[in-house]
Amino acid sequence: MPRIPLLDVLHRGVVYSLAGLSVWAIVSSVAVHRNTIRSGREYMERKEAEQRQQREEAMGPVSEAIEHHTVKRP
C-alpha cells in the first residue's frame, strides 16, 4: 500500500473543511431567510389588525349601521 504524502493529506483536509463550511453557510442562510420572512409576515398581520381596529373606531356607529342594514337578495 503506497503512503500518502503529507501535503496530499493537508490538501484533502482543507478541501473537505471548505466544503463543510460551504454547506453550513448555505443551510444557515436559508434558516435566517425563513426566519426573516416569518417575522415580516407577523409584523404585517399586526399592522393590518391595528389599521382595521383604527378604521372601526373611526367609523363608530356608522359601521354598525352598515352591518345591520345589509341587503339580502333572494
Residue among 52, 54, 56 nearest 65 (CA): 56
User: Is residue 66 predicted with pLDDT exceeding 80?
Assistant: no
DSSP character for 20?
H
Kindly report the length of the chain: 74
Average pLDDT over residues 7-25: 97
For 17-33, what is each residue's pLDDT tens digit? 999 999 999 999 999 99
> How far, in Å, CA of 3 to CA of 9, rounded?
10
Greatest Cα-to-Cα distance within the chain, rounded to the nearest angstrom: 92
Predicted TM-score (pTM) of this structure = 0.59
Q: What is the mean pLDDT of the chain?
A: 87
